[in-house]
Amino acid sequence: MNIKLVVVGKLKEKYFKAGIAEYAKRLSRFCKFRIIEVPDEKAPESLSQSQMDNVMEKEGSRILSKISDREYVYALAILGNERTSEDFAKELDKLTTYGNSDITFVIGGSLGLSSDVLKRADTQISFGKFTLPHQLMRLVLTEQVYRAFMINEGSPYHK
99 is in an annotated binding site: no
Residue closest to 55 by CA, chosen among 7, 113, 13, 12: 113
Q: CA-to-CA distance for 33 and 21, rounded, in angstroms? A: 10
Tell me: is residue 19 an annotated ligand-binding position.
Answer: no
Distances (CA, A) of 30 to 2, 23, 55, 86: 9, 11, 36, 17
Q: Known binding site for S-adenosyl-L-methionine: residues?
A: 76, 108
Q: Known binding site: residues?
A: 76, 108
